[in-house]
Structures are given as C-alpha cells and as structure tokens.
Amino acid sequence: GNHSNSFIHEKKIVNVAHRGASGYAPEHTIPAYQMGEQMKGDYIEIDLQMTKDGRLVAMHDEKVDRTTNGTGLVKDLTLAEIKKLDAGTWFNEKYPQLAKEVYEGLKVPTLEEVFKKFGKKANYYIETKSPDVYPGMEEELLQVLEEYKMVDSKGRTKNVLIQSFSKESLMKVHDLNPKLPLVQLFSYKNQATISDEELESIKEYAVGVGPNFSKVDGQYVKMVRNHDLQFHPYTVNERADMKKALEWGATGLFTNYPDVFNEVLNEY
Ligand code: G3P
Ligand code: CA
C-alpha cells in the first residue's frame, strides 16, 4: 500500500483509546486523552464535528447536550460559544465514583489544541462525523493536518489514520490526499457478513475496516484479513471480548479501557 503508518508496517496490535480513556474521564477532553497516553494507548481517537464558524472540535454527538452543560447543534454554535461550555461536570454527575474536581469546567478542545498539546509523537485516529452536515470538513481537516505538520511535503503521515462511516467522506479525503491511510467504519444492526467484492472495493481506498464488534464473528475477520486489510472493531471493553477479537485475528481495537487491553495483550 502507499501508507507509512508504522504500526501497520510493524504488525503491532494497535490499542486505540476510544474518545480518550473514556472509561475513566470525560470523553474528548484533554485529561481523557492524557490518560489514554498514560495507559499506553497507541492512538488517541478523536471524533470531529464542525462549528458554525468552520472550526473542527472533538465531540462525538452533533449536539452539545450530552457531553456539556449547553444545548443545541454544534453547527449552530460558534467556537467562542462552545468554549463557554463545561465538558466535564456531566461526567462527575453521571459517574460519582470516578468524579474528579479537575474535570469541572473542562473545555471542548479543537483539533488544533489537541495537536498542540500532544504533538507529532502521538498517534491520532480521527473520525469525520456527520460529514453530510458539514460541507468542507475534509478540506479543513487536511489543512489542519498540514499546518501542524502531521503530513510531510509529500503528503505522507506516520501518525494519523482517518476513519469514517461515510465512504463519500473517505473518498473526498482520498482524492485530496491519496497517501493518507483510511479506515472504513461499519455499523451493523444484524450479524454481519462481508463479500470479496465489497472488500476489493474498500481496498481501493482504505487500509482497514472498523465494524461494531458485537455483530461480527471469526469468519468476517478471516475475510477481511484475507484481503490484507486491517481489522479494528469497536468498542471492546470486556476482557473476554478483547481475547476473542485477538483470536479472530484483529489487528487492533477501540476501547474505553486501554489499560485493560494492554493487560490482555501482555498475557498473549
Ligand atoms: O470510530 C470507531 C467508533 O468510535 C465508532 O463509533 O459512535 O463511538 O464514534 P462511535
Ligand atoms: Ca469514533
């Protein structure tokens, strides 16, 4: 392939800190990402939404309601408005046993702030969320990647993977920069199967697939690996499931508990 991501080359199983170490700290906040690094997660997972004034912020939902003290759609709020919100107190209220005073008043980070904080040595697994809601999101993402030197002059990267449920969004990224390694996400409602034809077409633009773990089986993984695509299921939080994923041939996984996954990996 034309990707240069070191983990994929080295065949190391990748431990992706899903929304940061979001089992322990409020998702998509700097402390959650820091904890992901401390727990030796290989990648910081970042979901992207875009503000009214065109800035990329780390947030899972299209609305700010669940993970902040605000209400409304990200697309209707400016970055300045989003910066007024508290992105940590909800977590303390929902998980009193995990609550920490430092989570109070945390801000929603921009993608740029995350890059500033963690730099080029960290690895980022970045998802374009709701790309249909945010025209220009892919162009903005590529511009930020360039500005923070996450890609070199030839467009190559050592530390970024781009993921999306939207094939269209991935194709846009691919057209803008064919060197960026991409992962096609899937959300299956029923037990999943995938065909050689589908996998061949994915292989034309992506380096891997990321389905929901609960709907796949060993046969699915075999198909994916036969096409030499990476297999990164989400979101795998239970030890037994982590083991199962490894036995099936997963090349990495998304987890809210990167520390637990490292324990499982060390047993192997
Ligand atoms: O990106 C992999 C996984 O995170 C997809 O599900 O809803 O947690 O973004 P979601
Ligand atoms: Ca995600």
Q: Cβ distance 185 to 148 under 8 Å? A: no
pLDDT, tens digit (0-9, with 9 covering 90-100), for 37-47: 999 999 999 99
**pLDDT beyond 80 at 122:** yes
Q: Which of 46, 235, 253 to mutate to test the pocket of ligand 1 (most atoms within 8 A of CB)?
A: 235
129 CA to centre of ligand 2 in angstroms: 8
164 CA to centre of ligand 2 in angstroms: 8
Q: How far apart are CA 186 and CA 152, in angstroms?
A: 30
**pLDDT beyond 90 at 2:** no
Q: Cβ distance 108 to 87 under 8 Å? A: yes
**Residue 254 CB less than 6 A away from ligand 1:** yes
Q: Which amino acid is at 230?
A: Q
Which pLDDT score, from 0 to 100, does residue 1 have? Answer: 42
pLDDT, tens digit (0-9, with 9 covering 90-100), for 171-198: 999 999 999 999 999 999 999 999 999 9
Residue 185: nearest ligand to its CA?
1
152 CA to centre of ligand 2 in angstroms: 25
Q: What is the pLDDT averaged over residues 135-162?
A: 98
**Residue 213 CB less than 6 A away from ligand 1:** no
The interface predicted TM-score of the complex, written ipTM, equals: 0.98
Which pLDDT score, from 0 to 100, does residue 222 have? Answer: 98
Catalytic residue among 3, 28, 60, 232: 60
State the distance between the two ends of the chain, measured CA to CA, in whole angstroms. Answer: 28
Lookup: tokens for 205: 């633009």
**Residue 27 CB less than 6 A away from ligand 1:** no
Which pLDDT score, from 0 to 100, does residue 7 have? Answer: 73
Residue nearest atom 2 of ligand 1, based on CA coordinates: 234
**Residue 161 CB less than 6 A away from ligand 1:** no
Q: What is the pLDDT averaged over residues 190-207?
A: 98
Burial (CB count <10 Å: 0-12, 13-18, 19+), residue 254: buried
Catalytic residue among 3, 18, 28, 174: 18
**Residue 237 CB less than 6 A away from ligand 1:** no
Q: Give the atom of ligand 1 at the shortest distance from the alpha carbon of 232.
A: 2
Q: How far apart are CA 164 and CA 224, in angstroms?
A: 17
Residue 16: nearest ligand to its CA?
1
Burial (CB count <10 Å: 0-12, 13-18, 19+), residue 126: buried
Residue 187: nearest ligand to its CA?
1
Q: How far apart are CA 114 and CA 117, in angstroms?
A: 5
Which pLDDT score, from 0 to 100, does residue 4 have? Answer: 59
Q: How far apart are CA 67 and CA 96, in angstroms?
A: 15
pLDDT, tens digit (0-9, with 9 covering 90-100), for 216-267: 999 999 999 999 999 999 999 999 999 999 999 999 999 999 999 999 999 9
Which pLDDT score, from 0 to 100, does residue 141 have? Answer: 98
Q: Which amino acid is at 199?
A: L
18 is catalytic: yes
pLDDT, tens digit (0-9, with 9 covering 90-100), for 4-17: 577 766 679 999 99
Q: How far apart are CA 91 and CA 65, in angstroms?
A: 12
**Residue 127 CB less than 6 A away from ligand 1:** yes
60 is catalytic: yes
Residue nearest atom 6 of ligand 1, based on CA coordinates: 234
Which pLDDT score, from 0 to 100, does residue 5 have? Answer: 74
Q: What would the CATH number be for the domain defined by 6-24+35-56+118-267?
A: 3.20.20.190
**pLDDT beyond 90 at 3:** no
Residue ranges in the chain assigned as alpha helix (H): 6-10, 30-38, 79-82, 89-94, 111-118, 137-147, 167-176, 196-203, 218-226, 239-248, 258-267
pLDDT, tens digit (0-9, with 9 covering 90-100), for 56-107: 999 999 999 999 999 999 999 999 999 999 999 999 999 999 999 999 999 9
Which pLDDT score, from 0 to 100, does residue 19 have? Answer: 99
**Residue 47 CB less than 6 A away from ligand 1:** yes
CA distances from 74 to 22, 83, 137 (A): 21, 11, 13
Nearest alpha carbon to residue 19 among 257, 223, 260: 257
Q: How far apart are CA 72 and CA 64, in angstroms?
A: 6
